[in-house]
Amino acid sequence: MFYLIVLLFALSWRLVNAGSESNGIADLRIEEHAADTEIIISLNAAERPAASFSGDNWCLVLDFRNAQVNANHVEKAYASRDLRLGYITVLKQKPGDARVRLYIRPGCLASLRYRDRDVIVRIAEKTALSVQTSIEPGFLLSPAEEKYAPAVISLHEAPLWPVINELATLAGVEVERSGSLPEKFSAELQAASPLEALKELAAKCDLELLRRGQIWHIGPP
């Protein structure tokens, strides 16, 4: 049984005026540390990529719009302890766009964050990220979460209540049950923040999410 929830968070993303520089990927490098591996994608201009995750292939995909790529990096293969394979391609169906595919090692989790012009993917074993949850393979979290950061969620036959609790924690709110909830569910959604993801999740499960004072309540209509 496959469970997947991907929460993608942004840290200190700063829009930079590139001046005469062209938009694109300038470099990709891998830094291995004792507890994790960082894949650092350096950009000539700060345009955030669209991210998605393929659970079947354990592949994180980053799509960059209007991004030129250094010829030395196109189709070059990258690998490390926690990265089985990584490479950059230019999309034939969308000229001018680039795609980065990162196949992570099973049993690892990945976090996505931004620092100035760098896109940083951190890969580590599940225990190294200290994710306290029963969901497998787990959450992809930034080391310093932001409750207003975007969330992309893909869940298949996952336990509902732990997911609600995790989203509530990330959003900085308290949620209580109001009646019985489904034990498991499946959903695909993208939201602007963990709280918006929680609202969309409730709607997909035919539940009401209401705020009463400082506490949110979720349950059947």
Which domains can be identified in the chain, with CATH numbers?
A: 8-138 (2.60.40.3500), 147-221 (3.55.50.30)
Give all strands of the β-sheet with 208-212 in edge-to-edge order. Answer: 174-177, 215-219, 208-212
- The whole-angstrom separation of Cα 217 and Cα 62 is 35
Q: Is it the case that residue 204 has pLDDT exceeding 70?
A: yes
Q: By percentage, how much of the chain surpasses pLDDT 90?
A: 21
What residues pair up with 59 in beta bridges, in sequence order?
54, 103
Question: pLDDT-derived band of residue 177, with 50, 70 and 90 as boundaries?
Answer: very high
What is the reported pLDDT for 75? 67
- For position 29, what pLDDT does the model report? 93
* Residue 164 phi, psi dihedral angles, 5° rounding: -60, -45
Give tens-digit pLDDT for 79-119: 999 999 999 988 888 878 899 999 988 877 777 787 888 88
CA atoms within 13 A on the CB side of 182: 17
Mean per-residue pLDDT of the chain: 75
The pLDDT tens digits of the residues spanning 119-167 come to 888 888 755 443 333 333 333 434 344 455 556 666 667 788 888 887 8
Query: Which one-letter DSSP state was computed for residue 78?
Result: B
pLDDT score for 147: 55
Q: Is the peptide bond before 49 cis (omega within 30 degrees of 0)?
A: no
Which tokens go with 192? 């602007």
Contact (Cβ atoms closer than 8 angstroms) between residue 122 and residue 36 = yes
Quick one: pLDDT at residue 186? 82
Site of tokens 């034990």: 183
Read off the pLDDT of each residue in 66-83 and give the average, rounded to a whole number.
84
CA–CA separation, 89 vs 61, rounded Å? 11
Q: Does the pLDDT value for residue 168 go beyond 90? A: no
Q: What angle do CA 143, 60, 40 make, to 5 degrees?
A: 55
Q: Give the H or E element holding residue 213.
A: none
